[in-house]
Structure 1
Amino acid sequence: MSTKVRLWRWRRNPLKRRSDVTEAWVVLAAGVLVAVGAPAVGAATAIGVEDATLSASQNWHTASAVLTQDAAAESTVYGGSDSGKVRASVRWTASGGTAHTGKALVKPGTDSGARTTIWLDEHGALKDPPATPAEATAQGIFFGSVAAGGVGLLVLGGRWAVRLRLDRRRAGEWENEWAEVGPKWGHRTA
């Protein structure tokens, strides 16, 4: 049920109901939350994700490893993910002198026995290369946009639910009033 007169709920009107005023405040609050809250949540999420992505690899270090098998000639991952690199088995020696093996990203077509640089976390576990600042920024923008959109949808969904409840209440009030007044119509009083 929409009206052609804008802002009528804020004007003085003898026919204005309390539910109309409530709906006007809900619309105003939803507008403010979508206009201010969603971008604020999106920006905070983007900054948080970017910082977390960059700080996750702060304690990582590089090590030298030897390929134990030939690397595939080309990436089998659809879309060329992993920056055009392929996974291959490598062997490295930890700082304590123990030998470890694992799969690391290397250039396609690298021969067995070739040296490559790998990334290890603070516990000595093999990791993929850390995200670059540009990749961290892209992740932040993506997750920030998703968060802002989610907040916007949540607020608009809440506004819709409140309006639906108010409309049902108004319909119930209308039905009760009609049940009281309707039977009196058509009867003439002298």
Structure 2
Amino acid sequence: MRVIAGLWRWRRNPLRRTTDLAEGWATLVAALLLLLAAPAAGWLCGALLDSSLQQTVRVQHEERYPVTAVIAALPKDRRAAGFDGDSPKERSADTRVIATWRAVDGSKHKSAVSAPLSGWRTGDSFRIWTDAHGTQMKPPMDAGTARLHAALAGTGAALAAGLLIEGGRRLFVRRLVLLRHRRLDRAWAEVGPDWGRTGAGS
């Protein structure tokens, strides 16, 4: 609606001011930028981030390996913690256990790790991720998650570009309004003192 109102200032009218025409051009340029530049900025940002994240995904899958960890010992205090509604801390869904595993280079390891969920018993096994030497690592990022992050970043960049364009248009129009007011003040200063005195014989 604002675009239509701005373009309407191009209509032929003897009262049309130069600032009206400038506002019409500013509205047209802003509309074109919103339709073309903002989506392009979002696409470019998303594409660049997706390329970078996909490279990170490939590197992580090359450097991290899934291995089977076997529980060797459980925590000494296995009592379930009572629920405390006043406690600001959330109970963790993981359980720390002592586990053993063999790395892809053949080395054996034994350390405390986080086992998903609870209810484990000695001898149970679960999967963990390690580097080539057996050091535990976080699971590698998957390609789908990388694409989602890139899409969200691209959408954010497009919205930010749109807000920047609209903010620039509003600032330009505000300056035009101030210019109109200054011109009106000057015109009034010239004719104001004699306003209504025509033909009064003064």
TM, length-normalised to structure 1: 0.70
**Partner letter of residue 49 of structure 2?**
V
- Kindly provide the CA deviation profile for residues 35-81 of structure 1, in whole angstroms up to 9, marking residues without a partner as x: 112212222223333333332132232142455665999x946xxxx
Give 2:170's aligned residue. Answer: 160
Equivalent residue for 2:189?
Answer: 179
**Equivalent pair of 2:102/2:134 in contact (CA under 8 Å):** no
**Shift in CA distance, 159/7, structure 1 to aligned 2, threshold 3 Å:** closer
Task: State yes or no: 1:135 paired with 2:145.
Answer: yes
Q: How does 1:1-190 map to 2 (within 5 A)?
A: 7-59=7-59, 60-64=63-67, 65-67=69-71, 70=74, 76=91, 86=94, 88=96, 95=105, 97=107, 101=111, 103=113, 106=116, 108-111=118-121, 114-120=124-130, 126-189=136-199
**C-alpha separation between the residues in 2 aligned to 1:169 and 1:20?**
11
Structure 1 window deviating more from structure 2 (137-146 vs 5-14): it is 5-14
For residues 131 and 44 of structure 2, the distance between their equivalents in structure 1, rounded to whole angstroms, comes to: 27
Structure 1 segments unaligned to the other structure (5+ residues): 78-84
Q: Distance in 1 between matches of 2:58 and 2:152?
A: 22
> Are 2:70 and 2:100, in contact at CA under 8 Å, matched by a contact in 1?
yes
Compute the displacement of 1:99 (Å). 5.1
Where 2:58 maps in the other structure, the secondary structure is: coil
Q: Aligned residues, how many?
A: 180
Whole-Å separation in 1 of the counterparts to 2:133 and 2:52:
19
In 1, the alpha carbon distance for the partners of 2:155 and 2:108 equals 45
- Measured in 2, the distance between the counterparts of 1:185 and 1:145 equals 57
CA–CA distance in 2 between the matches of 1:102 and 1:25? 67
Q: Give 1:8 deviation, angstroms.
A: 3.5
Out of 13-22 and 30-39, give the one that drifted further: 13-22
Aligned to 1:80: none
Q: Is the 8 A contact 1:57 1:130 kept in 2?
A: yes
**Backbone CA RMSD of aligned residues:** 3.7
CA distance 1:155–1:91, change in 2 (3 Å):
farther
Quick one: distance in 2 between partners of 1:122 and 1:184? 93
Residue type of the partner of 1:132? D
- How far residue 22 of structure 1 moved from its aligned partner, in angstroms, is 2.0
Give the Å deviation of 1:167: 0.8
CA contact 1:23–1:163 (8 Å) conserved in 2 = yes
CA distance in 1, matches of 2:49, 2:160: 16
Cα deviation for residue 184 of structure 1 reads 1.9
SS in 2 for 1:57: helix
Give the Cα separation in 1 of the matches to 2:135 and 2:20: 62
2:149 alignment partner, SS class: helix
Rg larger for:
2
Report the equivalent of 2:83: none
Shift of 1:103: 4.7
Percent of aligned pairs with the same residue?
31
- Stretch of structure 1 that moved more, 91-100 or 46-55: 91-100
- For structure 2, the residue ranges without an aligned partner over 5 or more in a row are 81-89
